[in-house]
Structure 1
Amino acid sequence: MAFQSASATTALAPANPWALVPPLGNLDAYISAVNRLPLLTLEEEQRYAQQFKKDNDLEAAGRLVLSHLRLVVSISRQYLGYGLPHGDLIQEGNVGLMKAVKRFDPDQGVRLVSYAMHWIKAEIHEYILKNWRMVKVATTKAQRKLFFNLRSMKQGFKADAIDADTHRETLSDHEIDMVAEQLNVKREEVIEMETRLAGGDVLLDPAPSDDGEQAFGPIAYLADTAHEPTAMIESRQRDALATDGITSALASLDARSRRIVEQRWLQVNDDGSGGMTLHELAAEYGVSAERIRQIEVAAMKKMKKALVEHA
C-alpha cells in the first residue's frame, strides 16, 4: 500500500486524505502519524460507508481506511515474534483493511472495526505462512490455529527439557497435554508442530557442485498449485462465507440474539479488547449470565445452519 509523503496533521485533508500519512519506510513516523489521526464517529462512519457503497466515492473509502490504520498497527504487533519486518506486517494488514472496507455493509449495524479485524488478521496470517518458511508449515484450519498459538503458549511455560540435537527448549508431556486440551487438537499434532517449528530450513534449490554437475533439491519435486482449479474454487467459497454468509446468518437472528453474538464475537474496542461479557449482557437484559449463554449457543447453532444453507 503506497502512501504519499507529507507531514502528519490531526485533521483530515478534504482533497487528499492519504497525504496525512508519511511513507511506510519511516516506520516510527508512520506509526506516530496514524495514532494521531482522529477516529470517526458512528454517524461519520455510516455516512462515508454509504457514500462508498452507493456512489463508489473513493475519498469516503479513504477516510474509512485512514481512521482504522491504528487498528492495523495494534494487531500487527501481536505477530512480531515470527521474525518478519513490522513494516511488512503492517502493509499486509492494510491490504486486509482495504478488503474489509470494500466489502463492508453499513446497513448490517456492525461497526467497521469489528468487521475489519478478521480481514486484517487473515491477511497477516497468510503473509506469515507464506514467508516464515519457504514451505508452509500449516495447512488445515486446526494446524493454523496451533501454529499461531503454540509459540505464545510455549513462552508461558518453564522449559523442562533441552533437545540434545537442536539445543532448543522442548515441551514436557504435561505441557503437551495442556496445549492439546486448550486448542482442542491431538497431542500428536502438538508434537509434530513443535518439531516442524524447531526444524531447520531446507535449501530448495541448491547451487551447482564444484564439478559443474547440476544438484537436485526438493524444488524439483514440488508442484505449483497456485492456480489449481479446486483450490481456487475453495478460496472463493471461503471469501463468500466470510462476507455474504456471515451477513446472511446474522440477519436470521432476532435483535437480542444478534446483539449478543456481535458483542461476544464481533466487537473489538480501540485497545484491542473484546466486547461485553456474559455478566455485562445479563445486567443489560435483566436475566442471568447462564440465560445469556443459552441464547448465545442457540444463536450460534442457528447461524451455523444458515451458513450451511448459504454454502
Structure 2
Amino acid sequence: MKNMSADRRMIKIAMAAPYLDREEEHDLAVRWKAHEDRSARNKIATAHMRLVISMAGKFRNFGLPMSDLVQEGYVGLLEAAARFEPEREVRFSTYASWWIRASIQDFILRNWSIVRGGTSSAQKALFFNLRRLRAKLARGDAHLTVRSIHQEIAAALGVSVNDVQTMDARLSSSDTSLQAPSIASDAESAERMDFLISDDPLPDEQVSNMIDGERRRVWLASALTHLNEREMKIIRARRLAEDGATLEELGADLGISKERVRQIESRAMEKLRSALVSADPRMAAYA
C-alpha cells in the first residue's frame, strides 16, 4: 500500500508540474549547459516527468513494476538533460523521448529473464515488437499459419525466421527455478534440481582425478628412464601406442624371435613396477 501511495503521489506531482514554453525551456537548458545550474536541470526534468510516466505505461505488459519502469525512465530523462544542446533548436521532449525509451528498454532486457537476450538493434526490435506484429498479422488473416506469421515478422524486422521462432518461444514461457518444488515427486522437500541426473564425476572428484592422473604420468615418465633402448622400444610399441604392435611385428623389426620379444617385454614390465612402487608405495595398486 505504501508503494502504491508513493506511486500515486509521484504521478500526481508529475501531472501538476507546469508545462514549459519553448523560450523558458531554452533559457533553462542554457543555464544548465553553460553554468551547471542544477536547479535549472531539475526544473526541466520535473516538467517532463509526465513524459516518463507515459512512456513507462507503454511497457507495463512486460510484467515489471511500474515504479521501476518510471525510475529507469527518469534516469534516461536526466541523461537527456545532461546531453541536451539548446543551440540545436530542438524541443527537449523530442530529444528526451529516445533516451527515456532506451533506458526503459535496457532495464526490461536486463530484468525480464535470467537468460540474457540479444542486445543488437535487430534483436531489441524483435523483442519489443514480436507480440504486437504477431497479433496484427493474426487479426488481418485468421488463416495464417504460425510459420507464415514468423516469416512475415522476420521480413518486417530484418531478422532470420529462426531468430523469430527462438524469441517467440522465450516470450511464451517463463523462467523456472531449479530450487522450485517438483510436481513429479511426492516428497515435500524434493526440488527440480534433484532430478537433474548426471553420470559425470562431481567437480571435486574431477579435480582429484586430474591431479592423480598428472602424478601418475610423471611417475611413469620417471620409471621409463630405467629401461634400456630395446626395452623402451618394445614397451612403447606394445603398451603405449594406440594400436599395439604384435610380437611377430616387433620380432621381425628387431631381428629376434617373438618369444624373445615376450621375454624382454616381461622383464621391462617388472622394472617399471619396481620403479613405480619405489617412487610411491601407493602405486602398487596400479602397477
- Which moved further from structure 2: 62-71 or 137-146? 137-146
- Equivalences for 1:95-174 in 2 at 5 Å? 95-158=75-138, 172-174=146-148
Q: Secondary structure at the match of 2:116?
A: coil
- The structure-2 alpha-carbon separation of the partners of 1:138 and 1:194, relative to structure 1 and needing over 3 Å to count, comes to same
- Which moved further from structure 2: 114-123 or 173-182? 173-182
**Alignment-derived partner of residue 169 in structure 2:** 195
CA distance in 2, matches of 1:192, 1:171: 17
CA distance in 2, matches of 1:110, 1:205: 52
- Equivalences for 1:74-113 in 2 at 5 Å? 74-113=54-93
- Matched to 2:160, the amino acid is K
**Alignment-derived partner of residue 32 in structure 1:** 12
CA distance in 2, matches of 1:35, 1:107: 28
Q: Secondary structure at the match of 1:50?
A: helix
Structure 1 contact 24–30 (Cα < 8 Å) conserved: no
Q: Secondary structure at the match of 1:156?
A: helix
Identity %: 34
CA distance in 2, matches of 1:141, 1:119: 15
CA deviation profile, 1:51-107 (whole Å, cap 9, x unmatched): 111111110001100111011011111101100111110010000000100111111
**Alignment-derived partner of residue 54 in structure 1:** 34
Which structure is richer in relative contact order (CA contacts within 8 A, separation 6 or more)?
1
- Equivalences for 1:63-78 in 2 at 5 Å? 63-78=43-58
CA distance in 2, matches of 1:193, 1:33: 38
CA deviation profile, 1:177-209 (whole Å, cap 9, x unmatched): 2211221222221111111222331437789xx
**Match status 1:185 vs 2:135:** no
Shift of 1:27: 1.8
Shift of 1:114: 1.1
Instruction: With the length of structure 2 as denominator, give the TM-score of the two structures.
Output: 0.57
- Matched to 1:176, the amino acid is H
- Matched to 1:107, the amino acid is E
- Which moved further from structure 2: 27-36 or 197-206? 197-206
Number of equivalent positions: 184
CA distance in 2, matches of 1:58, 1:139: 33
Shift of 1:176: 1.3
CA distance in 1, matches of 2:110, 2:55: 18
Shift of 1:137: 2.1
CA distance in 1, matches of 2:60, 2:15: 19
Q: Rg larger in 1 or in 2?
A: 2
- The structure-2 alpha-carbon separation of the partners of 1:25 and 1:130, relative to structure 1 and needing over 3 Å to count, comes to farther
- Matched to 2:113, the amino acid is R
Structure 1 unmatched runs, 5+: 1-22, 160-169, 218-311
Shift of 1:157: 4.4
CA distance in 1, matches of 2:174, 2:56: 25
Shift of 1:132: 0.6
CA distance in 2, matches of 1:94, 1:187: 35
CA RMSD of aligned residues (A): 2.9
- The structure-2 alpha-carbon separation of the partners of 1:32 and 1:195, relative to structure 1 and needing over 3 Å to count, comes to same
CA distance in 2, matches of 1:205, 1:108: 54
CA distance in 2, matches of 1:127, 1:157: 28
CA distance in 2, matches of 1:143, 1:120: 19
Q: Secondary structure at the match of 1:114?
A: helix
Structure 1 contact 137–196 (Cα < 8 Å) conserved: no
- The structure-2 alpha-carbon separation of the partners of 1:188 and 1:196, relative to structure 1 and needing over 3 Å to count, comes to same
- The structure-2 alpha-carbon separation of the partners of 1:115 and 1:204, relative to structure 1 and needing over 3 Å to count, comes to farther
CA distance in 2, matches of 1:101, 1:87: 21
